[in-house]
Amino acid sequence: MRASHIVILTGAGVSAESGLGTFRDTDGLWTKYDIADVATPEGYAKNPKLVLDFYNARRANCRAAPPNAAHEAIARLQREYPGRVTLVTQNIDDLHERGGSRQVIHMHGQILQALCAECGHQWGWTGMMELDDICHSCATLGAVRPDVVWFGEMPYHMEAIWARIAECDLFAAIGTSGAVYPAAGFVSDAQHRGARTLEINLEPSDNAACFDECRLGPASETVPMWVEGLLGDG
């Protein structure tokens, strides 16, 4: 029976074929950097320049990366599916938007946004971020940081995400290792509500056993096929 509300959770694997690195694959970002140094408030307090430079490199990579067929297929599903589709991403890149998605819930923030650590103001940021940048709202010097959720910080939009999961009847995780909570727990939340669950990944994730169905392969192939099947033309 056709699902009335699909919730999709994506991770770094959906952007891998666009040339953006993942975190935990063999050559992933966390094999080159220590999370504590570049993805925690403590690391930012200790060495803000190291953190700003880390995200400056990721921002430049993101702007140079094209969306791939997986991003485009998800956007097509959002446009054409007769039921509701909610897209939640752990990714901080804008490839879902550049792939055509209009509604994207970025639970870990966005690399193309800045956040003021002093007043909480958020605004668009596409260039390099330096230590002497000032907040565009409170004009505080040295409080500008990437609008990215670090380890130990609360992800964004959690109430909205849990509400969507509570009412969905199909939950699909795409390109995520299932290594980081609360995102890794969404599949169990969905299952407890009676939703069918599907994992689409290059290899089985850490929580593969939680899913009813698993489709393995590169997202640029598996996701368009999945979408074609849902839209009835596959």
Binding to ligand APR (CB under 6 A) within 182-211 occurs at 201-203, 205
Nearer to ligand APR, 78 or 89 (CB): 89
Nearer to ligand APR, 17 or 169 (CB): 17
Torsion of CA 55, 58, 59, 64, to 10 degrees: 170
Residues designated catalytic:
108
Cβ 82 to ligand APR shortest distance, Å = 26
Residue 224 engages ligand APR in binding (rule: CB under 6 A): no
Residue 48 engages ligand APR in binding (rule: CB under 6 A): no
- In the sheet that 213-216 helps form, which strands lie side by side, from edge to edge? 105-106, 84-89, 5-10, 170-174, 196-201, 213-216
Nearest to 74 by CA among 106, 101, 44, 52: 101
146-15-207 Cα angle (round to 5): 95
CB contact at 8 A, 111 and 146: yes
Instruction: State which of residues 18, 20, 22, 78 lies at the interface with ligand APR (CB under 6 A).
Output: 22
Q: Is the peptide bond before 41 cis (omega within 30 degrees of 0)?
A: no
Residue 71 engages ligand APR in binding (rule: CB under 6 A): no
Q: What are phi and psi of 111, to 5 degrees?
A: -70, -25
Element (H, E) at 201: strand 196-201
Cβ 102 to ligand APR shortest distance, Å = 22
**Window of 1-9, 46-54, 77-85, 171-179 that interacts with ligand APR by CB under 6 A:** 171-179
Nearer to ligand APR, 197 or 201 (CB): 201
**Window of 57-65, 120-128, 169-177, 189-197 that interacts with ligand APR by CB under 6 A:** 169-177
Nearer to ligand APR, 69 or 170 (CB): 69
Q: Total residues at the site for ligand APR (CB under 6 A)?
A: 23
Instruction: State which of residues 77, 87, 219, 230 lies at the interface with ligand APR (CB under 6 A).
Output: 219
Half-sphere exposure of 36 toward its Cβ, with a 13 Å CA cutoff? 1
**The length of the chain, given as a count of residues:** 234
Binding site for ligand APR (CB under 6 A): 11-13, 16-17, 22-25, 28, 90, 108, 175-177, 179-180, 201-203, 205, 218-219
